[in-house]
Amino acid sequence: VEASPLRLARGTRSYPVSDGGNISAANADWYGEIYVQSSVYDAARGFAYWGTDTVPGQVVKVAVSPKGAIHATRVSLTETAAVSAAHFYSHSAGGSVRLGVYSHGEPRTLLWQSGAIANTNAGTWIVLPIASGTPPNLTLSPGTYWLAWQTDSTADVAGRTTGAGGDSFYLNQDFGPFPATIRGTDIVAGSERWSMYLEYVAASAASRWSSLD
């Protein structure tokens, strides 16, 4: 079971009533997203919604699972790489996953993606050959990249550790092909380091092997 606090936006003024008090039709700009009322859970998409007793009325949308979003973690390459496979650690089996690779910059540009792959792995790595995705070949220059993933399962699928702010990002999107570009204004930065990596051969080594064939 994983739990986290519900983060609500704060307003520009101090809360004027003692705990337990209420202000009918409170101004949302003054006091923030307060007076959370009844909630609705969308199990199909993995989101919960709360209404607030503020003026104007607001709906607070909270993701309660990794479903319905693109998640990505930052990686660095120190050498030119002929990539052969993408690896993703799966805690629990279920649903399907998609993997992708984006460039770093503005906007982030899609360099490679897999199709939807049934996730039958629990407590082990999913390995997707680059040749099974689009394009079927991937060579990366030294630099920073983003390894991305999606799932259509509400289970806690992905392995991760806690990193520093900006080590990851997410973008709300229904499960499907990755967008060609992702702009910085559309993402939310995070500190997760998702358990993903690329398997590759250094281009210099590949050149040496080719010369010996």
Q: What is the pLDDT of residues 172-208, one digit of tens each?
A: 999 999 999 999 999 999 999 999 999 999 977 654 4
How many residues are recorded in the chain? 213
Same domain, 119 and 184: yes
179 DSSP 8-state letter:
P
pLDDT of residue 49: 76
Listed in sequence order, the residues at least 6 apart from 130 whose beta carbon sits closer than 8 Å to its beta carbon are 83, 84, 85, 86, 112, 136, 137, 138
Q: What is the pLDDT of residues 44-81, one digit of tens each?
A: 666 677 777 666 667 776 666 688 899 999 999 999 99
Same domain, 125 and 186: yes
Same domain, 97 and 175: yes
Q: How many CB atoms sit inside 10 A of residue 79's CB?
A: 12
Q: Which residues of 23-57 are buried (b: 16+ CB within 10 A; e: fewer)?
A: beebebebbbbbbeeeeeeeeebbbbebebbbeee
Residue 190: HSE in the Cβ half-sphere, 13 Å Cα cutoff:
17
Percent of the chain with pLDDT over 70: 70
Q: How many CB atoms sit inside 10 A of residue 77's CB?
A: 16
Where does a domain end: 43, 64, 85?
A: 64
Same domain, 80 and 100: yes
Percent of the chain with pLDDT over 90: 57
pLDDT of residue 167: 94
203 DSSP 8-state letter:
H
Same domain, 177 and 139: yes
Q: How many CB atoms sit inside 10 A of residue 213's CB?
A: 4
User: What is the rounded CA–CA span in Å between residue 125 and residue 133?
Assistant: 17
Residue whose C-alpha is closest to residue 46's, from 20, 68, 71:
68
Spell out the long-range contacts of 120-124 with Cβ–Cβ below 8 A and sequence spacing 24 or more. 120/93, 121/90, 121/93, 122/90, 122/91, 122/92, 122/93, 123/90, 123/91, 123/92, 124/89, 124/90
Q: Which domain holds residue 6?
A: 1-64
Specify the number of domains making up the chain. Answer: 2
Same domain, 172 and 202: yes
Same domain, 52 and 79: no
Same domain, 39 and 83: no
Listed in sequence order, the residues at least 6 apart from 74 whose beta carbon sits closer than 8 Å to its beta carbon are 104, 144, 145, 146, 166, 167, 168
